[in-house]
Each structure stands twice: as structure tokens, then as C-alpha cells.
Structure 1
Amino acid sequence: MDSKNGKTLRILTFNTWYFGKKVENGLDKIVKHIKLLKPDIVALQEIQTALLFKEFLDKLGAEWSGVITPNIYPDIGIITTHTIDDKTLSITPCNKSMGLNIHLKNSTEIISFWGMHLDHHSYGPYAANNKLVTKMEQIFSGESTKNKTGRQDNIYELLETKSFMEALEKSDKIPVIVAGDFNTPSHLDWIKENEEIHGGWTIKWPATTLLQSKTGLIDSFREIYPSPVETPGCTWTTVNRYGPEWDFSIPDTLDRIDFILYKSQRLKPFKSFVYSGSESFQQVPNHEKNDYPSDHFAVVTDFSWVIK
């Protein structure tokens, strides 16, 4: 696509809910929605196997290529219609982050793109909305754990990754984009003005606070929609509004936990939105025939980019 300011770039982050296994023909539906959105680069989460990922790429078509984390349960994937530089592939030790360079076709431009899927245990908003929780330390105990596998720990691991920090240092020439499911709210969203929907708390969630303060990365959705009161942008959840305990009578806590962040003076987000297709969907446990295959809303950001 072209725009009056130069070239545009569409980024998508998509938690695939066990790679489509929770709905009928789920893999085909993931392919369908990616083709409808026409992104340039996609950060995927919850990929199940390398064999299934190959089948997925075959369904997408020859113009797509991708990489996944090289473990039994790959989890994170990055796909694109542009050209992946495999030599730049970098994966953090706990497999929570993966990055590489992507060369844009018909251009000399390069993107340093990082896919994320942070730890899902001890989900912070559940603690914050528990009336027996009285101290911030109790909430934060799930963000940095004794065995160092919490979401804050995942971010520290990323910040200790040499290739990531080098990419940030070069972001004036090669833009950096970080996208994925963080499994934590943003510190930009839990503010004094909306404490009443957050269990009475104002919280600087450590993962997003640490990542943005140490890197200068900008939250693309919140840059366009600065008020979390006016535009919450919740991505959790599409179909788990009520949990199976207590006969689906207790509501889940909705929040924005999927992000597209960037660092570059040459990139500017001009559109960002959450996505769940255009068809209505049923809640769990009546979700199997849903057209949209995920329990997360996807996030899309369109960037304008002035070509050198």
C-alpha cells in the first residue's frame, strides 16, 4: 500500500488459541482471517507443532514464509510476505521472545521484528480483583517469581539479549517492532481515573513499565488512543467472558494484554484496532462453530513510513 506520506506497513499480532484447535476447521479460519486483514508481518502465539506450522504456511500460500521457536511446543511464530533474514534469528533462553530482521520487498528497508508470548501463570488482574488481596506485593509476586519465570523476568531476559539491545541502538536506521501476547495489562491503562473497574487499584504493571522505560518503545494503540477510559481496547477475552466454575455465572476480568510496540522516528502509526472478524460468536462452552478462532482479539496497527 501507498500513502501520501510514503509507504505503509500493516502489523498483526494474533494469539491463535492452540493454533485453531478449539474451533471446527480452526487452522483454515486462522488462514482466512489473516488473508482478510492482509498484514505485512504477523506475530503468532500458541503454535502447536512444526508439522502443523508447515501445513499452515502451505494453506496461506507461496508468498508467505515464517519461523518458529525450535522446541517441541514451538509457541511463537513470525510470518511475513516479505523476506526473512534467518541469519539474524535470536531466541531468548526461556523461548518467550524471538526476533529477526525482515527485508521489505521492492525496497532497501529492513525491520527488526520481535514476537513475544510472556508467561501466563498467576495472571495479575485476577489477584487485583480478589478482595482478600490487600498489598501490591501480593499482586507483583506473580510478575517476578522465585524461579524467575514471571512476566517481569521474561522482560529482563529480553533486555539482557545482546541482539535486542543492539537492534534498539540502531532503531534510527532499522525500525524495531515488538508484538505479541504479554499476558499482563499495560501500566498505561490501570490509572487513577478507572480504578473502579480495576479492583480499586492503580498499577504500574512491571513488564510494560520496564520494557518501555528501558527501551523507549512506544505502544502504538495507546499512542493513537491515549485514554484507556474512552478506548479501553480490551483483547482478553472474546469467548471466556464467564469461567466454567460456578456454572459460568462469574464474569472474567477484561483487559488489554496484546500489544504492538515500536521504536523509530521514521515510523508513525496512523490506525490501530482490535479485531475478531465480522461474524457474531458464541461464548465457551458453545464456541466450537465460531468463525473467529481465538479467545483473544487480534491487534492490527498500520504504520506510515517515509522511504529514504
Structure 2
Amino acid sequence: MFQEFLKKLGSEWDSITTPKAYPDIAILTQHTINATTLAITPCNKSVGVNIHLKNSTEIISFWGMHLDHHSYGPYAAQNRLVTKVEQILSGESPSNKTGRVDNINELLEIKEFKEAIKQSDKIPVIVAGDFNTPSHLDWINKNKDAHAGWIIQWPATYLLETKTGLIDSFREIHPNPIETPGSTWTTINRYGPDWDFAIPNPFDRIDFILYKSPKLKPFNSFVYFGNETIQQVPNQQTNDYPSDHFAVVTDFSWMTK
């Protein structure tokens, strides 16, 4: 299916995916991917390549992410039987070591990623994708009523940003999570079918574009879902927009000395 999609985009697009029968991470660009720089974490949750910008000598180290989706934290936060934050956070790093914190730790240990962060003053680094977890910047005291009363420093984004200096481009442009929550999930599951569409899903911002470089400066960031009204499950078959996540778009300026 991915190859069919790529064919529709046209020959001017370059791409790379995770090496699986059903790839869940893809990097697509109209620039040129250096496939020899491909780096993949052991759990196949992160893929990184160098992208050479057209008509330029500049390079971007680009990393696509799709972190583990099990034990989704905001569901636990809405559960009245959950009384301790430790119960919620246990899903971020479960005993089998396949959780979102574990995915981030694997990325942080990849030598290509370490080198990319070290060289980010020369080669910009962008990390983007579906983290399947909220941001540590969003669940604060002022909006705790929207999160069942919880204030949570979500560890996956906190760990990645504090260990690397990566910056959340959306929150840099929209620093107030109350005025601009920027929710990206879910577009078509407003009410869960498990309860006959009677209980609303908790919305949250779980898709991110992070960057690190003095050469990049974001000047616009927004969520996008096309121009047509999105129909909810079970009527989503007619939707023009193909995903159950909103897309995140960030525009950067390339800074020159």
C-alpha cells in the first residue's frame, strides 16, 4: 500500500520506511534521502536518516517516531479506580520494557542519534512523529480539571527534551496549553465504540515536531485535518482526511549569519 501511495505522489518524492511487512514509520521528502545513513532502534520505533536539501549543501538529520501504543496514559487518568500517579506512569515503562520511556531510552543509546545531537549546531536535527503520550509541558495545574484533576510530568517527552535539548516547535509558538491545546488525537473516535458511543474519548496532543539547531527558527505551527468536515466512527469511510490523528505542521525559517 505504501508503494502505491508513493507512486501517486510522483517521482519527485523520496522515501524510506521501517523494514517490516507493514511499515508504521515512513519519512517522505521532496529532497534527497541518504539511505546509507539509515539508523533504526532495535524496537523499530525510531528511524533516522540524513536528508540533503535540494540546490544546497545543507543537510538535516531527520528522525521519525512511532512509540508504543499500549497502556495509553490519558485513559488511565480518566479511570476513577486509579488513585496514584504511579499507576498511570507504570504504563509508560512497563515491566516488559516495551513502553514509551523504553522506546526513548533506546533512541538515546543509538550512536547515530548521539552523534546527530552532538553535531546539531552544524546539521539541524528534527524528531517528529506519533509519541502516543502527552507532553510534559501540557498537564499543568491551570488545566488539571480537563485532565481528571491530574498534574503529570509525562516522562517520554521530558526525558527526550531534557537529555538532548530538543525543542517542541508547537509549544514554542503556542506556549499556553490552555489557550492552544493543540490536540492531535483523535479525529474520528470522539466517542468510543466500547461504550456504544456514549463516553467521550479524552483528547490530547500526542504528536510532536521537535528540533535542535541554531539554523532553524519556527515561525508557524498548527494542527491540520483537511478542508472537509470529518465524520466520526462508524461513518468515517467517506472522510477525505485519511488518519485518526490530526497532522502537525511546523514552518521553519533557515537562519543565516
Q: Which whole-Å CA distance do the structure 1 matches of 2:230 and 2:129 have between them?
A: 23
1:121 to 70, 77, 80: 70
> 1:149 maps to what in 2?
98
CA distance in 2, matches of 1:228, 1:213: 19
Q: 2 CA distance for matches of 1:302 and 1:281?
A: 25
The separation in 1 between residues aligned to 2:44 and 2:83, in whole angstroms, is: 33
- 1:52-71 correspondence to structure 2 within 5 Å: 52-71=1-20
Matched with 1:74 is: 23
Higher relative contact order (CA 8 A, sep 6+): 1
Counting matched residue pairs gives 257
* 1:252-295, Cα deviation, whole Å (9 max, x unpaired): 00000000000001100000000000111210001100111111
More displaced 10-residue stretch of structure 1: 143-152 or 52-61? 52-61
Distance in 2, matches of 1:263 and 1:271, equals 16
Q: Which residue of 2 aligns with 1:194?
A: 143
Q: 1:251 aligns with which of 174, 192, 200?
A: 200
Match of 2:241 in 1: 292
Matched residue of 1:180: which SS?
Answer: strand
What is the 5 A alignment of 1:224-263? Answer: 224-263=173-212
Percent identity, aligned pairs only, is 74
- Unpaired runs of 5+ residues, structure 2, are none
Partner of residue 92 from structure 1, selected from 41, 64, 67: 41
Query: Alignment partner of 1:295: what SS?
Result: coil
Measured in 2, the distance between the counterparts of 1:157 and 1:88 equals 18
d(CA) in 1 for partners of 2:55, 2:182: 34
The correspondence of residues 172-191 of structure 1 with structure 2, limited to 5 A, is 172-191=121-140
Contact 2:217/2:255 (<8 A) preserved: no
Counterpart for residue 169 of structure 2: 220
User: What amino acid is the match of 1:274?
Assistant: V
- 1:105-152 C-alpha deviation (Å, 9 max, x unpaired): 001100000000000000000111111111111001100011100000
Q: Deviations over 1:64-91 (max 9, x none)?
A: 0101111222211101000110110000
Task: Provide structure 1 residue ranges, at least 5 long, that are not aligned to the other structure.
Answer: 1-51
Partner Cα separation in structure 1 for residue 62 and residue 194 of structure 2: 39
Distance in structure 1 (CA, Å) of the matches to 2:42 and 2:75 = 28
- Any idea what SS the aligned residue of 2:25 has? strand
Partner deviation per Cα, 1:37-92 (whole Å, 9 max, x = no partner): xxxxxxxxxxxxxxx22211110001001011112222111010001101100000
Instruction: Spell out the pairing of 1:105-116 with structure 2 (5 A cutoff).
Output: 105-116=54-65
CA RMSD of aligned residues (A): 0.8
SS of equivalent residue, structure 2 residue 236: coil
TM-score, normalised relative to structure 1: 0.82
